[in-house]
Amino acid sequence: MIQPLVPDLQAHIPRLPADVALQLPQGQQLGAPNAPVKLSFSSWSSIARLKAGQIGALAEDYVEGKLQLEGAMRDVMRAVTRLLPGNPVQSDTGWWSGLLRRARSLAAHTPAKDAAQVQFHYDVSDAFYALWLDPRRVYSCAYYRNLSDDATTLQEAQEAKLDHLCRKLMLQPGERFLDIGAGWGGLLLWAAEHYGVDATGITLSKNQHAHVQQLIAQKGLGRRVRMELRDYRDMPEDRPFDKISSVGMFEHVGQANMGAYFGKIMRLLAPGGLVMNHGITAGGLENRQLGAGMGDFIEKYIFPGGELLHVSAVLEHLTRSGLEMVDTENLRPHYARTLWDWSDALEARLEEARQVLAADGGPEQAEKTLRAYRLYLAGSAMSFEQGWLSLHQLLATKPTGDARQPYAKGAQSVYPFSRDYMYTPVRAHFV
């Protein structure tokens, strides 16, 4: 253990980037006095974690008030990338570790635990999320038609994403459409209002369910739009859906349940129909979370029960269920920009966020939650920029088994095996 007084401080401190300064527990300062990022430690144990490259443990110390951070979150994250000891997607890939991960995944993803884990994250406070999400509260990767265009707003990019999804699914008026993990209803209502579908959304979040129910009533869409507080595993299979989407949800399913998840979608989908699975994927082939303790931090403070798979593993589960992948799109840098937009919006309204969170859980818990989300948003943006995390849209069909009409010869689904239709804007509006 490092003692409070040591003769050679530099021997116990890792090499610092030029833009990082440290304040040690007894007041000594290291690094440039005008460095844009400053870490102030109250205990030597935190410095030991810094030296060991345990970024996740340092993040926990920050949330718990043992470490103070000064500087813009973008600068903080640039410094973090240089403090990491190695590539955080590397992990123990032995057979025993894989078996242990599967056992933990099975235990962590019962219906009751999934409901509790979803509510832990999404029911923090609707007013808190409203401070930094777009007006529709779309809580998933946006779609910037030109990533180099800094003028595109978050709202524009989220609406572009909603329409991108609807066009990929070839939604038509009157079709039965299911949105698994419908969130605050952004895609559900966009599909109903702009494409005329008969739409059903499901969620495990009580706050989201109540919010969308209110929106449906306000918009007068009650005859053909519904939001249900329901687990996807409990969806009845007597009336198949023409089109299905799952956006930002399957990260909560768990590796052990991935086969059952895609199997359920297969049974819910009408022959010849389309399903869109949009979700976060791992940057490495074997890791289920990020290393250097970052995954453990997310598990504790943000997304309990979250598990990530490499896109190749997702496609294997999808294919084993009987679905056919027809189009895959990687939106990794889009999610980095989305997260920075969220992070910047939260940083601009920190005091409002404290007040909103304190109204629900008191000032002490509010400060912990706010610190956790500041790190989570900026750290996730960094992870997508670095390629440690990714985001894929997987479009798949349920083949009919009949190569004849009514579809294109051999297609066995509505999908035309051409991407041209995806980029043809639809301007209709249905009330």
pLDDT band at residue 330 under the 50/70/90 scheme: very high
What tokens were used for 421? Answer: 């239709």
d(CA 293, CA 207): 30
pLDDT for 395 equals 98
Rounded to a whole number of angstroms, the CA Rg of the chain reads: 23
Higher pLDDT, 178 or 12: 178
Q: Give the residue-averaged pLDDT of 95-108.
A: 41
- Where residue 339 falls among pLDDT bands split at 50, 70, 90? very high
Place of tokens 């808190």: 128
**Given this model, what pLDDT does residue 335 score?**
96
Is the pLDDT reported for residue 158 higher than 70?
Answer: yes
Q: What is the pTM of this model?
A: 0.85
Give the pLDDT confidence of 196-224 residue by residue, as tens digits. Answer: 999 999 999 888 999 999 999 999 999 99
pLDDT of residue 105: 42
Q: Is pLDDT of 324 > 90?
A: yes
Minimum mean pLDDT among 114-118, 226-230, 313-317, 346-350: which range? Answer: 114-118
Q: What pLDDT was estimated at residue 176?
A: 98
pLDDT tens-digit readout, 24-82: 888 888 888 888 999 888 888 887 887 777 777 888 888 888 888 889 999 988 887 77
Q: Tell which phi-psi region holds residue 292, choosing left (phi > 0), alpha (psi between -120 and 50) or beta.
A: left
Q: Of 156, 166, 146, 144, give the one whose Cα is nearest residue 426.
A: 166
Confidence of residue 157 (pLDDT cuts 50, 70, 90): very high
- The residues pairing with 227 across neighbouring beta strands, listed in sequence order, are 201
- What are the backbone angles phi and psi of residue 371, rounded to the nearest 5°? -65, -40
pLDDT for 232 beyond 80: yes
Question: What pLDDT band is residue 299 in, cutting at 50, 70 and 90?
Answer: confident
198 with 172: CB under 8 angstroms? no
CA contacts within 13 A on the Cβ side of 101:
18
**Beta carbons within 8 Å of 126's beta carbon, 6+ residues apart:** 137, 184, 207, 211
Average pLDDT estimate for 264-271: 98
- Please write the tens of the pLDDT for every residue from 308-322: 889 999 999 999 999
What tokens does 140 get?
A: 């998933």
Mean pLDDT of the chain: 85
Sorting pLDDT into bands at 50, 70 and 90, what band is 11?
Answer: low
- Residues with Cβ within 8 Å of 93's Cβ and at least 6 positions away in sequence, in order, are 286
Q: Helices (DSSP H) in 109-257: which residue ranges?
A: 111-122, 126-132, 154-168, 186-195, 206-219
Residue 276 and residue 247 in contact, taking contact as beta carbons nearer than 8 Å: yes
Residue 216 CA to residue 394 CA, distance in Å, equals 28
Task: Quote the pLDDT of residue 152.
Answer: 97
Long-range residue pairs from 4-9, CB within 8 A, at least 24 positions apart, any chain: 4/44
Read off the pLDDT of residues 112-142 as tens digits, 9 standing for 90 and up: 545 554 444 445 688 999 999 999 999 999 9
Collapsing DSSP to helix, strand or coil, 263 comes out as helix
Q: Which residue has the higher pLDDT, 288 or 21?
A: 21
Residue with the two structure tokens 């869109």: 276
pLDDT at site 99: 36
> In order of start, what are the domains of the chain with their CATH numbers?
9-83 (no CATH), 99-423 (3.40.50.150)
* Pairwise pLDDT comparison (93 vs 150), residue with the higher score: 150
User: What's the pLDDT score for residue 82?
Assistant: 76
CB 203 within 8 A of CB 252: no
pLDDT at 303: 67
